[in-house]
Structure 1
Amino acid sequence: MDPFGDANFEQTEVDPAAEFLAREQNALAGLEDEIPLAQPAVTGNGVANGDVTQSKAEDENDDFSGFTVPKQVTEEPERIRKWREDQKARLEEKDREEERKKEELREQARKELEDWYKHHDETISKTKAANRESAKNAEKQFVAETDEIEPGTEWERIAKLCDFNPKTNKSSKDISRMRSIVLQLKQNPISTAKKV
């Protein structure tokens, strides 16, 4: 039994694309005589754009057998050809100018870099010399102070080496106890000599 209840029903397959193309071909049949077709533009490789599109259309759809695009190769007008040559020459000149400017900038950058390195080396050598001189002076002063060691002045020398300003060491640990002990020992030194 037929699930739809009609055994005599025959369905014919109709391709909607073929039907559309046939309708459009009939509707546009007389237009190619009335409207002149635009001439295809010639590209740089000498092939007309219309030639490429027509061959693509022929390859893809064989239903367009009645519709043909005339293959007309037109030459480029003299003015446009001259403009293209002038444009090419201008672009080449601009490219040469750009390369020249790039080379100038590279040369300028190389010189600036050499100057910077020279200045940097001079600054470093001056800083090294100043540091050596100040280190020599500090060493001489330290040696001169160590020669003057007298008994009982040890805590005084330690107090000189310590920074007791509480405002300078905000980020460090609390050293108030150590500070008070060092100051107390500086004022009342403990005698290290033994009594016999």
Structure 2
Amino acid sequence: MRILVIGGGKVGSKRALKFSEYGAEVTVLSLAFSEELSKRDDIKKISLDAREVNREFIRNYDIVITATNNPEVNSRICDLCREERKLCNNPTNPSESSFIVPIFYEDEDIGIAVTTMGKSSIMSKVILDRALEALREDPKILLELKVMADVKAMLKRKVADPSIRYVLYQKIFVDREFESFINNGNVNSAMKRAEEIINESSQ
């Protein structure tokens, strides 16, 4: 995936670093680059005025991010992208974007994406922080996530039909005895109850 980020400031740097983190081939076009970008040899940098970007240049990329401090330039580039059937994200004007780049948190268990549709990046961060705070204050949610992942693996081992697996997965999740075990932190009993429900369905 070839990504073009137009603008080497704070917003452009964040976008470029995030796409690069996920394995994309990233190019940043700007007359000046942030310190973070300057240190990255894996991100290609082109010194060029964004006003000189044309359709032929855009054709070399799959996705374009417009992150200059000039709204007119950002809009013109998104117009060119639409003409070339390229995806374009304009952080300053979501209505011109063909996709949204949310603020994102990820660890080994969960991923949370938040967007305020361009209204306020600060509030996006506030909302994300509060969501993470709520998760940390309720460890039962993450415990239930772990147990349901184990239940899913058990179902794949024991039940061949995907449609039956789906029904059983839902049935286990709403089972009161199963839920009670999780609420009490009794993972082994919860898994035994899940196995009972699976075995009962095959009788």
Q: Give TM class, smaller chain.
A: under 0.3
TM-score, normalised relative to structure 1: 0.19
Larger Rg: 1
Higher percent of residues as helix: 1
TM-score, normalised relative to structure 2: 0.18
Higher percent of residues as strand: 2
